[in-house]
Amino acid sequence: MISDNELGEKPMTHQDSTAVLDSAHIGDIRGALGTIRRDDTGARHTWRERLKTLLAILGPGLIVMVGDNDAGAFSTYAQMGQNYGTTLLWTLALLVPVLYVNQEMVLRLGAVTGVGHARLILERFGKFWGAFSVIDLFLLNALTIVTEFIGISLGMEYLGVPRLLGVGISALCIIAAASTGSFRRFERFSLILVLGSLLLIPLFVLVHPPMHQVIHDLFRIAMPAHARLSDVMLLIIGIVGTTIAPWQLFFQQSYVIDKRITPRFIRYERLDLWLGIILVLIGAIAITACVAYAFAGKPEASHFIDAGQVAVGLAKYQGKWPGILFAIALIDASIIGAAAVSLSTAYAIGDVLALRHSLHRRPGEAKAFYAVYVALIAVAAALVLIPGMPLGLLTNAVQTLAGILLPSASVFLLLLCNDKAVLGPWVNSRATNLFTAAVVSVLLVLSVILTASVLFPDISENTILDILVAGGLIATLVALSHWVLRTYGNAQSDELMPDLLAVPESEKIVWRMPALHLLAPAAVSSSTRLWMGALRGYLVIAVVMVVIKVVHLALAG
């Protein structure tokens, strides 16, 4: 067995009365670009000290954001560019604050609590929601990983690599990267892939789409002319679902914990997140603009097929190198996406079952954790290699389930970030609550439209408009959620110091959630229970209907 000291940790003592579930999550921060000792609690006074600290912290935000620009994102942004040009680029600009607020909340939860997202849901909201979060995350992530290997397959085939060889080598690399027992090695592997995502910049330079048009459409809200509203709305929903996915919440919270980041370094992790968001925006704009410019006025315009055909079109109209760069960037994005999504699942299962779940441990020490990770990769790769597998249907199912689950994930994130027993002085501000409540209302409406569009492919524009109008009623309910959150927070505050939010910064940066068994039971008001019951009913009905539809299409095919 490997000792705690060999893992770079210190034995847990009475002073470590936090909720951390795996002792490997306590110790020195050993990032890809630097180390911060656990006893290094001094202030950073110079720019050099701050830069060294930032380099050591860099990783979670970059990896989760670049991993979000995965195979599904490549397809969605390419479809946007090929079918509608750069007209819908404004959707990306609008999603930037949503991305930051959502991911900032989970990084805060991870650093302060030391407990993963699924386990917090289980502890604070009961076994049903805990089991629901893990089971649905497992199923959704498994399908998402299949789409990543579809991207790998398309990119490899374009480069002339046989599908079996390309998919097989990629799967082995993804498994090997996480199985060394070294967190630092995995992070270095991931950051190399992050650098690989920058290949989209030379692609943009080679294709040179008109920059003034790109900037204009990025900040001007408009709808494509002569396009069906239903088609455009479904693509916008796809953009939202691609850019903000449930796995991101689970992954970043757990990865922050595994990296041993504490509240002292939250400011640096926020900067890491912003850098990741900038890379996501650059990549999404580059894909959309290059594809839009390459296919403008060509026969393939408005006839998107898949990312592989986009690479073919880029080579046909812009030269050999744009097609090669696009294919390599697609493979790079798919690999980092597959690794991150698989890890988010393994982390969640290990967290809920209180198993060892850390990249600091070798496979022999965390067998279940690594078994889940390897099994997800192996099964997804095998499915892509099966002749006749309905890959398009699987991709459609992924987008639909992600759309269904996203509102519930955002709701629980919001509730947890207002639980003073969990976050203490780190709970959300009123402005964050109002913004997130508005986002949840929009996500819920989009979720309903997405679910309806899959169940009823011929949905009309009038029906979509009716759903949007009905969304006004939903928004009213969500507006009441602010009151619910305040009620929930006030109930929790009875268990805590009344001046908790006014603690000095020196105390705030060392405040961590107590061990789970020491927390007072979550006080959930009757109105909150009613709200959660309605959400549960919607989720159950929507998931069952979608599963029935997918099975029907599979049998019919």
Among the four given CATH numbers 3.40.640.10, 1.20.1740.10, 3.40.50.2300, 1.20.1260.10, the one describing domain 60-556: 1.20.1740.10
Q: Can you tell me the distance from the alpha carbon of 277 to that of 273, in angstroms, rounded to the nearest whole number?
A: 6
Closest among 204, 244, 172, 201 to 410, alpha carbons compared: 244
For the chain, the structural domain boundaries read 60-556
Question: Can you give the pLDDT at residue 14?
Answer: 38
Q: pLDDT over 70 for what percent of the chain?
A: 83
**Tens digits of residue pLDDT in 494-514:** 444 445 556 777 788 889 999
Amino acid at 227: A
Question: Can you give the pLDDT at residue 331?
Answer: 96
* 98 has pLDDT over 60: yes
pTM of model > 0.85: yes
Band (11; pLDDT cuts 50, 70, 90) = very low
In order of 460, 469, 476, the CA distances from 464 in angstroms are: 7, 9, 19
DSSP code string of 259-301: TT--GGGHHHHHHHHHHHHHHHHHHHHHHHHHHHHHHTTSTTT
Q: What is the arithmetic mean of pLDDT over 319-344?
A: 96
Question: Can you give the pLDDT at residue 403?
Answer: 67
In order of 269, 491, 522, the CA distances from 351 in angstroms are: 22, 27, 19
In sequence order, which residues have a C-beta less than 8 Å from that of residue 514 and are 6 or more positions away? 17, 18, 19
Is 334 in contact with 173 (CB distance < 8 Å)?
Answer: no
Closest among 64, 332, 30, 325 to 174, alpha carbons compared: 332
Q: Which residue has the tokens 């979608």?
A: 546
Question: Can you give the pLDDT at residue 2?
Answer: 39
63 phi-psi bin (left φ>0, alpha ψ -120 to 50, beta other): alpha
Q: What is the arithmetic mean of pLDDT over 289-316?
A: 91
* 199 has pLDDT over 80: yes
* 3 has pLDDT over 80: no
